[in-house]
Amino acid sequence: MSLLEVRGLSKNFRGLAAISDVSFAIAEGSITSIIGPNGAGKSTMFNLITGYLAPTAGEVRFRDRRITGLATNRIAELGVARAFQIARPFRDLSVFDNVRIGALFGKAGRRDVEAATRRAMELASIAHLATQPASALTVGQLRHLEVARAIATRADLLLADEPCAGLNPTETAAMIDVLRQVRKNGVTVVLVEHDMPSVMEVSDRLLVLDAGRLIAEGPPPVVANDPKVIAAYLGTPDAA
């Protein structure tokens, strides 16, 4: 069953096509990675899904409900959360209070703020840092905090923007474990990521964007050997 559907989505900036007629579906309970070279349109796609940008054409549907045109907070109330690449926590607040703020908002309905906060910290492997101020965290720990704040909104869909960027191998492995735990606990995950070993390890499916167009999709081993994908990343040799 598709949790999220993108149908014929396009976005132009003063005549420049950042996204061109892209369609795909995200299966509930999956981990899907959106990959592509710099400037391919990955972040623009996240901005369109979460309401930060309005599309030029097409629509986004969540649980078969059109969410195109809704404000970002309304989309969050339906169960869509985003973890940003650059974490901007409340630096003077504790990790617990930072995550608690996420639990105060997000998905509509009854909520147990304390329970949602503690669950999110456990899933993101930062429960042991609960009393630490956000200003004392490492880059890797801040990434975990960003994921925890998003999970605390009781999201059904987590959009994670380059959660492994700039992390060392140990930190990357820890983040992959977190994403797997998040999925195991009922949250569908969509990543934008450049770290290809991580993408290949954690993803059920890949979507490849190049110059705003979807050029390939499918299981990681199939996509990795697609000539169009190889050309997009490595280029093609010049003609003799």
- The CATH number assigned to the domain holding 143 equals 3.40.50.300
Q: Which two tokens stand for residue 55?
A: 């599309």
Distance in angstroms (rounded) separating the CA atoms of residues 25 and 129: 37
Which residues, at least 6 apart from 237, have a Cβ–Cβ distance to it below 8 Å?
Answer: none
Asked whether residue 186 is domain-assigned, the answer is yes
The model's pLDDT over 122-163, given as tens digits with 9 standing for 90+, comes to 999 999 999 999 999 999 999 999 999 999 999 999 999 999
Asked whether residue 159 is domain-assigned, the answer is yes
Percent of the chain residues topping a pLDDT of 90:
80
Question: Which residue segment(s) compose the domain that 223 sits in?
Answer: 2-234
Asked whether residue 99 is domain-assigned, the answer is yes
Asked whether residue 110 is domain-assigned, the answer is yes
Q: Which two tokens stand for residue 137?
A: 């965290």
Asked whether residue 240 is domain-assigned, the answer is no
Q: Which strand (E) or helix (H) includes residue 182?
A: helix 169-184
Structural domains in the chain (count): 1
Contact between residue 53 and residue 10 where contact means Cβ atoms under 8 Å apart: no
Average pLDDT over residues 52-65: 95
Asked whether residue 101 is domain-assigned, the answer is yes
Asked whether residue 239 is domain-assigned, the answer is no
Is pTM, for the whole model, over 0.75? yes
pLDDT at residue 14 in the model: 85
Contact between residue 108 and residue 79 where contact means Cβ atoms under 8 Å apart: no
Average pLDDT over residues 69-87: 93
Backbone angles phi, psi at 175, to 5 degrees: -65, -40
